[in-house]
Amino acid sequence: MRFCCFILLLLTSLPAWGRDLILIGREETTSDKFSPPQHTELANGQRVYYSYYAALMDAQENSRGCIFVYFNPRHKQVWTEVTQKDFCLPRDLGNVCNIVVMQPGLISSKDFYPKIDPMVLYMADFQDRFWELDLQGPCVILITVDANGRDKVHRVLPCSSSVS
């Protein structure tokens, strides 16, 4: 009889296996402190993205037609003015495009497992998505997003290392 009750208990608990159990009152307050930030907030409330995927999702949701990617594969800081908190896009420009800055060292790797620079992972994802681009040095990439949410590279503008 005990064995039958045990089997019955196991069968009734099968739908809960493999799911995270949600604690009552804790649905929205739990955050993943180990995932690196995908953007930073500017003083005027606009965002500069670190993750191209996050910028693309935002562009699709908010009908923004283009994304500017400031890409620098080198460890020398090139896009310092764009990443400062007091940098602000004009409101009209911020409503039609997103800005992504990809440069090693923008995110501290000390707080995120496995202790590598998260920006390197974001940059690798971007390079996998646009594998046909030759991204050897600092450049600005113009990407358009059509009404169906598809992204397409239109222009790659190489920049010298002295750009700041």
Question: pLDDT (tens digit, 9 = 90+) per residue, 35-63?
Answer: 788 888 887 788 889 999 999 999 999 99
Domain boundaries, the chain: 37-158
- At 29, is the pLDDT very low, low, confident or very high (cuts 50, 70, 90)? very low
Q: What is the pLDDT of residue 98?
A: 93
pLDDT digits (tens, 9 = 90+) for 70-129: 999 987 777 666 666 567 777 788 889 999 999 888 777 676 666 678 888 899 999 999
Considering only residues 124 and 15, tell me which one the structure prediction assigns the higher pLDDT: 124
Structure tokens at 57: 């999702």
37-158: what fold?
Glutaredoxin (3.40.30)
Q: Are 96 and 64 in contact (CB under 8 A)?
A: yes
Q: What is the pLDDT of residue 40?
A: 83
**DSSP-assigned letter for residue 47:** E
Residue 70, Cα to own-chain centre: how many angstroms?
Answer: 14
Q: What is d(CA 147, CA 120) in angstroms, rounded to the nearest whole number?
A: 30
Compute φ and ψ for 151, nearest 5 degrees. Answer: -105, 145
**pLDDT tops 70 at residue 161:** no
